[in-house]
């Protein structure tokens, strides 16, 4: 098991945002975590990375992540693309990509940047532009490409479709599918339940801080409760 | 002698030193949004350490240039240690505190450093050993000394080196990334604490060099010298746009020139005897020696703060400052 989360808790002051979440991701899987706005998906993801204080336990590649600083994660193959993309707005596209490889010490970084440009020609065109001048979709591409620069085993994606036009959303999901096909394990947090479930192997449904449903993505897509609550299909 | 050209030369010399000090302010602000008011004291400590070393070595047979360089070589690591220490002990524990807390702490650190220096070096104004013979060249009506030339050249070299570090190296990219989004920088594998410490250490190293240059230029050093110098460099950083590295360089040089020109002309401009419409009022005073100067060149220090106020009123983001809030 690549990622094993047991009894995850997140508190903001007196408010419990995540209430004992269990979640697992196996190597090679694409797992999605869906739920409404404010269900605690992002809090859970950030707590897994150690960006929030958390209760419960998180094991990655068989070892507990407790007490480990955030900056060690990419060295161990775990990278998160945060909500809102988190590109460095005043660094150029190329500098952003180079930052993605910060944890690496090998000499192939240049070759890897060339590979990213092959996959994302748009980024090559804009390589010397600062990232803040890119469109939202381009920034999302850059954020994913930058995360791939660390050669991750496990990629955590937080709402990659947020704020994007439908055409761009489809494009970003194509990219996620390709990345998964290359053998990267992915945990995808999404509000767009239909797209996420169509793409994923397995899914978890989160509701006010707790997991209420989980299972094969196909089964969830067919589930009546999921269809009513998240796929916009009325009862009957 | 052409007073305009002369003051421009003096202003460029002083301004390039301000720029070096302003870089320390702006780099730290850029990365943790803290105005490190103790930065001026690091300049003072640099001057004091160099003063001690140079005084001891001045009596030996060492060549003068080597003596000064040894002074710098001792001042830089001491100041770096001070810079590291203040970040580690005073500011890091307050990283998540409201912004006012580290700001007030900075003032406290400044007072502590000043009084430590008072204990070590006494309260006397000390004559900085003038072991490098000043030679004066006349260029286009302005007198330029070899010390001035050396200061300007050294500052330009330092600024070039720093620009290379910040814009071309791995550490520099990590510094800029951390300044823009520390959380994501951490997710990319940057040890944010180390980068912040490195920023303090680099700024303190620059301050040490600036301290030696100021001491050599004015020929004196005292434990209070850091306050006014620090405030002026802060004004320079704000003028250029706080947080902006080229801005600090530009702001420092501009401020130096404004200050020197101001000091050069304020006496003439405020000589009441020049204004015939005032003749009735000041006739008596003017009869004695023909001058009734309201503000003399000892008002030099005022200009930096006039500039600071003007910038804050007219263009708070500074000359090269970016709009705040374009964080993606």
Q: So where are chain A's domains?
A: 3-230
Q: What six digits make up the tokens of A80?
A: 């998160």
pLDDT of B328 above 60: no
Mutation target vs B (from A42, A88, A149, A157; most B CBs, 10 A cutoff): A88
A153 close to A27: Cβ distance less than 8 angstroms: yes
Distance from CA of A96 to the nearest CA of B (A): 8
Task: Please give the average per-residue pLDDT across A69-84, as a whole number.
Answer: 95
pLDDT at B321: 81
B218 and B51 Cβ atoms separated by less than 8 Å: no
Long-range contacts of A60-69 (CB under 8 A, 24+ apart): A60/A2, A60/A3, A60/A4, A60/A154, A61/A2, A61/A153, A62/A1, A69/B186, A69/B191
Task: Taking each helix axis as running N to C, give the angle between helix B300-314 and helix B245-269, from 0 to 180 degrees, rounded to the nearest 10.
Answer: 130
What's the pTM? 0.92
Segment B313-325 mean pLDDT = 79
Please determine, for residue A236, whether its predicted confidence score (pLDDT) is greater than 70: no
Question: What distance, in Å, lies between the first and last C-alpha atoms of chain A?
Answer: 39
DSSP classification of residue B292: -
Residue B43: C-alpha distances to residues A213, B24, B200, B228 (Å): 62, 10, 13, 11
Mean pLDDT within A134-146: 96
What distances in angstroms separate CA B201 from CA B84, B116, B248, one per listed residue? 6, 20, 18
Of residues B272 and B14, more confidently modeled:
B14
Q: Which of A99-103, B58-62, B64-68 is predicted with the least confidence, judged by mean pLDDT?
A: B58-62
Q: What is the mean pLDDT of chain A?
A: 94
From the list B180, B189, B326, the residue facing A102 with the nearest CB is B189
Q: Is B169 on the interface with A (CB under 8 A)?
A: no
How sure is the predictor about A14, in pLDDT bands with cuts at 50, 70 and 90?
confident
Which pLDDT band holds residue B326 (cuts at 50, 70, 90)?
Answer: very low
- pLDDT recorded at residue A234: 60
**B223: nearest Cα among B115, B130, B129, B127:** B115
- Residue B1 confidence (pLDDT) above 70: no
| A225–chain B nearest CA distance, Å | 36
ipTM: 0.93
Asked if A226 and A55 count as a contact pair (C-beta separation under 8 A), the reply is no
Half-sphere exposure of A21 (CA within 13 A, CB side): 34
pLDDT score for B54: 94
pLDDT tens profile B219-266: 999 999 999 999 999 999 999 999 999 999 999 999 999 999 999 888
Sheet of A202-207: strands edge to edge? A78-81, A154-158, A185-190, A30-35, A202-207, A210-216
pLDDT of the residue at B327? 40
- Supply A179's token pair: 């990345």
Structure tokens at B279: 């003749």
User: Higher-confidence residue: B283 or B196?
Assistant: B196
Structural domain spans, chain B: 3-314
The distance of B184 to chain A (nearest Cα, Å) reads 6
Partner-chain residue, chosen from B170, B173, B189, that has the shortest CB–CB distance to A75: B189
Q: Beta strands A63-64 and A15-25: pairing type?
A: unpaired
Average confidence (pLDDT) over A75-84: 95
Q: In this predicted model, what pLDDT tens digit does every residue of A168-207 receive, in sequence order?
A: 999 999 999 999 999 999 999 999 999 999 999 999 999 9
d(CA A43, CA A9): 9
Q: State the Cα–Cα distance between residues B292 and B300, nearest whole angstrom.
A: 18
CATH superfamily to which A3-230 belongs: P-loop containing nucleotide triphosphate hydrolases (3.40.50.300)
Residues 6+ apart with CB under 8 A from B259: B11, B14, B15, B232, B300, B301, B303, B304
How many C-beta atoms lie closer than 10 Å to residue A153's C-beta? 18
CB contact under 8 Å between B170 and A132, yes or no, is: no
pLDDT at A29 over 70: yes
Under 8 Å between Cβ of A58 and A66: yes
- pLDDT of A230 > 90? The answer is no
pLDDT-wise least confident of A26-30, B27-31, B60-64, B103-107: B60-64
Please give, rounded to a whole number of angstroms, the shortest distance from the CA of A91 to a CA of chain B: 7
Quick one: pLDDT at residue B296? 79
Contact between A171 and A98 (Cβ < 8 Å): no
Residues written for chain A: 236
Q: pLDDT tens digit string along B160-187?
A: 999 999 999 999 999 999 999 999 999 9
pLDDT(B17) > 80: yes
- How many angstroms separate the CA atoms of B78 and B50, rounded? 10
CB-CB under 8 Å, B188 with A102: yes
> Quick check: A197 and A191 in contact, CB under 8 A?
no
B135 touches chain A (CB under 8 A): no
> Is B188 an interface residue toward A (CB < 8 Å)?
yes
Q: What is the rounded average pLDDT for all residues in chain B?
A: 92
CA B227 to chain centre: 10
How would you label A8-42 residue by residue, b for 16+ Cβ within 10 Å and e otherwise? bbbbeeeebbbbebebbbeeebbbbbbbeeebbbb
Q: Using a pLDDT cut of 90, give the percent of chain B over it.
A: 77
Confidence label for B299 from pLDDT (cuts 50, 70 and 90): confident
Residue by residue, DSSP assigns A167-198 as HHHHHHHHHHHHHHHTT-EEEEEES-HHHHHH
8-state DSSP, A71? G
Q: Which fold has domain B3-314?
A: ABC transporter involved in vitamin B12 uptake, BtuC (1.10.3470)
For residue B133, what pLDDT is reported?
A: 84
Give me the pLDDT at residue A214, please. 96
For residue range B31-51, list pLDDT tens digits in order: 999 999 999 999 999 999 999
Question: What value does the mean pLDDT take over residues A117-122?
Answer: 94
How high is the pLDDT of residue B90? 97
Question: Do residue B328 and residue A139 have CB atoms under 8 angstroms apart?
Answer: yes
Using alpha carbons, select from A87, A117, A107, A129 the residue that is nearest to residue B326. A87
Category of B282 on φ-ψ map: left (φ > 0), alpha (ψ -120 to 50) or beta:
alpha
Nearest C-alpha in A relative to B184:
A86
Secondary structure letter of residue A85 according to DSSP: -
Q: What is the mean pLDDT of residues A77-105?
A: 95
């Amino acid at each position: 098991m690549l990622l094993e989360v047991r009894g995850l808790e997140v508190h903001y002051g007196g408010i419990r945002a995540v209430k004992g979440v269990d979640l697992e991701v196996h190597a090679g899987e694409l797992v999605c975590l869906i739920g409404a706005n404010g269900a605690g998906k992002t809090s859970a993801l950030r707590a897994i990375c150690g960006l929030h204080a958390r209760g419960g336990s998180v094991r990655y590649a068989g070892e507990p992540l407790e007490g480990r600083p955030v900056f060690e994660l990419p060295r161990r193959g775990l990278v998160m693309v945060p909500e809102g993309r988190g590109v460095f707005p005043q660094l150029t596209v190329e500098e952003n990509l180079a930052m993605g490889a910060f944890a690496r010490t090998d000499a192939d970084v240049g070759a890897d940047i060339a590979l990213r440009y092959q996959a994302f020609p748009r980024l090559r065109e804009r390589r010397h532009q600062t990232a803040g001048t890119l469109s939202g979709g381009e920034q999302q591409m850059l954020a994913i490409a930058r995360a791939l620069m660390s050669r991750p085993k496990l990629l955590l994606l937080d709402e990659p479709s947020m704020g994007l036009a439908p055409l761009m959303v489809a494009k970003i999901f194509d990219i996620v599918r390709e990345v998964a096909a290359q053998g990267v394990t992915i945990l995808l947090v999404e509000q767009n339940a239909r797209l996420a479930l169509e793409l994923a192997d397995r899914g978890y449904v989160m509701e006010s801080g707790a997991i209420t449903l989980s299972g094969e993505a196909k089964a969830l897509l067919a589930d009546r409760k999921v269809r009513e609550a998240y796929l916009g299909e009325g009862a009957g | 002698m052409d007073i305009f050209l002369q003051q421009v030369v003096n202003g460029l010399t002083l301004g390039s030193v301000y720029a070096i000090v302003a870089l320390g302010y702006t780099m730290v602000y850029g990365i943790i949004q803290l105005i490190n008011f103790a930065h001026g004291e690091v300049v003072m400590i640099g001057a004091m350490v160099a003063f001690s070393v140079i005084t001891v070595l001045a009596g030996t047979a060492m060549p003068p240039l080597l003596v000064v360089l040894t002074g710098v070589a001792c001042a830089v690591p001491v100041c770096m240690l001070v810079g590291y220490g203040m970040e580690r002990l005073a500011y890091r524990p307050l990283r998540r505190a409201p912004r006012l807390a580290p700001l007030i702490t900075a003032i406290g650190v400044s007072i502590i450093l000043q009084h430590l220096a008072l204990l070590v070096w006494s309260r006397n104004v000390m004559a900085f050993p003038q072991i490098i013979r000043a030679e004066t060249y006349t260029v286009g009506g302005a007198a330029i000394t070899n010390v001035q030339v050396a200061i300007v050249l050294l500052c330009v070299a330092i600024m070039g080196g720093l620009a290379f570090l910040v814009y071309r190296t791995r550490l520099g990219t990590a510094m800029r990334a951390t300044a823009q989004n520390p959380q994501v920088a951490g997710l990319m594998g940057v040890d944010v604490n180390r980068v912040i410490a490195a920023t303090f250490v680099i700024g303190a190293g620059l301050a040490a060099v600036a301290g030696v240059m100021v001491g050599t230029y004015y020929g004196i050093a005292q434990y209070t010298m850091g306050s006014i110098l620090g405030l002026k460099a802060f004004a320079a950083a704000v003028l250029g746009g706080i947080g902006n590295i080229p801005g600090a360089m530009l702001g420092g040089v501009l401020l130096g020139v404004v200050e020197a020109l101001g000091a050069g002309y304020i006496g003439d401009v405020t000589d009441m005897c020049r204004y015939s419409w005032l003749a009735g009022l000041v006739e008596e005073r003017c009869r004695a020696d023909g001058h009734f100067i309201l503000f003399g060149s000892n008002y030099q220090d005022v200009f930096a703060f006039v500039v600071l106020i003007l910038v804050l009123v007219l263009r708070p983001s500074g000359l090269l400052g970016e709009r705040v809030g374009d964080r993606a």
